[in-house]
């Protein structure tokens, strides 16, 4: 299915606005609405899927027209509250069309963090009173028209409808060509950080390519990765995991390696951490202004700097760096010291084509990491 045909079909049913958080299953669709199709609809990329439902609610209140909300199925957890307490017909009755990328589809190989959500995606829609249809690369134009007609009928009742999208549904198209002005390679930045750590320093890394690069660089530099907890799912929660470890084990130095997309998703955690001030806590944000792990699409706040936010949240020191020398110096200034420190590293887009994935299961990573506390 061509992305432009899908967008035109949405326009044909009266949808004028797209709201969502990028997803790799929807990459071709996301690339289109960020490039050739950028003028076809109003397009917003909020910080998380729950915020997308809130924004879609406001758009409906302001225009009387439902918006389409796109997401990875992992984002279903973030929409439960606003969906059930605002959009449902038992409350305000706000119609909207969900476009959900199906990671972890049963019978299709995928990463462990997607497995359970993939099994329950359709069931969650049923529990949340969202009628749905599934589309794939075999879906015809006539079938799509029938699905959208059904969706229109449901939304006319002030309800929500979901289209669950299987992997490979949208035709491949030329890459998005996303880039930024920075030159520091993210994996080199990670290597610089890890080389400065000691035996009592524990790493908590965020979702996506950052954890994959942490895993490979740990093995390359140290020959093992037992000091790294790889937060493969739960985007935006790595810093709170790191905080929990920090207050449980004050004898350890905790380093959280975050990304800007994840930081945005649950940014309130910075205020909590800054107020509660764990000892020996270094929070590093690798900022490239994009959701690179799911295709490279820009965040909805490209260009925002997190260091001033961290300062206002109460972090004891903040720094912004743009090359490895500055990063090394900033890390050396705070490593081993008390308090909470924030380093924002501005990094380029891109990763190695041969970037691997963890060979151990998530459970094995947990067990090996916890050996640091015995």
For CA atoms 246, 249, 255, 256, the dihedral sign is negative
Q: Render pLDDT for 232-291 as a digit per residue (tens, 0 to 9).
A: 999 999 999 999 999 999 899 999 999 999 999 999 999 999 999 999 999 999 999 888
pLDDT digits (tens, 9 = 90+) for 330-370: 999 999 889 999 999 999 998 888 888 988 999 999 999 99
Give the pLDDT of residue 175: 63
117-119-120-125 Cα dihedral, nearest 10 degrees = 100
The answer to whether 184 touches 324, Cβ cutoff 8 Å, is yes
Q: Does pLDDT of 22 surpass 70?
A: yes
Candidates 271, 282, 280; CA nearest to 314 is: 271
In this model, does residue 112 exceed pLDDT 90?
Answer: no
Look at the block and give the residue holding tokens 């409350």. 91
pLDDT band at 176 (very low <50, low <70, confident <90, very high): low
pLDDT at 67: 98
pLDDT of 161 higher than 90: yes
* % of the chain exceeding 70 in pLDDT: 99
- CA–CA separation, 158 and 66 (whole Å): 9
Residue 374 has pLDDT above 80, yes or no: no
Q: For 229, which DSSP code?
A: E
pLDDT at 165: 98
> Alpha helix (H) ranges present in the chain?
3-12, 27-33, 49-63, 76-82, 112-127, 141-155, 186-195, 209-222, 238-248, 260-265, 268-276, 307-312, 324-334, 362-370
d(CA 97, CA 358): 36
pLDDT at residue 299, rounded to an integer:
87
CA–CA dist 257, 193 (Å, integer): 9
> In 3-state terms, what secondary structure has residue 160?
strand
Residue 178's pLDDT band (cuts 50, 70, 90): confident
Q: Report the sign of the C-alpha dihedral through residues 101, 106, 108, 112, in that order.
A: positive
- Give the pLDDT confidence score for residue 352 in this predicted structure: 86
Domains of the chain: 3-165 (3.40.50.970), 186-373 (3.40.50.970)
pTM (2 d.p.):
0.93
Note the pLDDT tens digit of each residue in 57-106.
999 999 999 999 999 999 999 999 999 999 999 999 999 999 999 999 99
Enumerate residues 6+ apart whose C-beta is below 8 A from 10: 18, 41, 68, 97, 148
CA dist 190 and 210 (Å) reads: 8
Least Cα distance to 162 among 212, 229, 255, 95 occurs for 95
């Amino acid at each position: 299915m061509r992305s432009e045909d899908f967008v035109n079909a949405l326009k044909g049913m009266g949808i004028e606005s797209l709201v969502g958080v990028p997803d790799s299953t929807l990459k071709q669709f996301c690339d289109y609405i960020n490039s050739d199709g950028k003028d076809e609809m109003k397009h917003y990329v909020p910080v998380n899927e729950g915020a997308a439902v809130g924004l879609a609610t406001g758009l409906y209140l302001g225009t009387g027209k439902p918006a389409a909300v796109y997401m990875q199925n992992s984002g279903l957890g973030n929409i439960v509250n606003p969906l059930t307490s605002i959009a449902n017909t038992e409350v305000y009755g706000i119609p909207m069309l969900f476009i959900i990328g199906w990671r972890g589809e049963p019978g299709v190989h995928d990463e462990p963090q997607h497995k359970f959500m993939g099994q329950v995606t359709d069931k969650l829609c049923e529990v949340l009173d969202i009628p749905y249809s599934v589309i794939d690369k075999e879906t015809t134009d006539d079938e799509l028209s029938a699905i959208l007609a059904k969706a229109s009928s449901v939304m006319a009742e002030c309800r929500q409808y979901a289209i669950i999208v299987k992997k490979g549904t949208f035709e491949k198209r030329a890459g998005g060509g996303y880039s930024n002005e920075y030159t520091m390679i993210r994996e080199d930045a990670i290597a610089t950080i890890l080389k400065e750590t000691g035996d009592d320093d524990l790493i908590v890394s965020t979702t996506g390519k950052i954890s994959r690069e942490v895993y490979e660089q740990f093995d390359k530099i140290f020959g093992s990765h037992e000091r790294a907890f790889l937060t493969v799912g739960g985007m935006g929660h790595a810093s709170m995991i790191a905080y929990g470890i920090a207050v449980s084990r004050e004898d350890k130095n905790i380093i959280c390696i975050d990304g800007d997309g994840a930081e945005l998703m649950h940014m309130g955690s910075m205020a909590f951490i800054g107020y509660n001030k764990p000892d020996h806590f270094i929070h590093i944000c690798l900022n490239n202004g994009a959701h690179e792990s799911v295709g490279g699409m820009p965040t909805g706040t490209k260009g925002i700097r997190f260091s001033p936010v961290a300062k206002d949240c109460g972090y004891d020191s903040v720094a912004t760096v743009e090359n490895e020398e500055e990063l090394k110096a900033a890390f050396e200034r705070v490593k081993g010291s008390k308090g909470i420190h924030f380093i924002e590293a501005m990094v380029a887009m891109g990763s190695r084509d041969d970037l691997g994935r963890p060979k151990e299961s998530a459970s094995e990573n947990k067990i090996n990491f916890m050996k640091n506390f015995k």
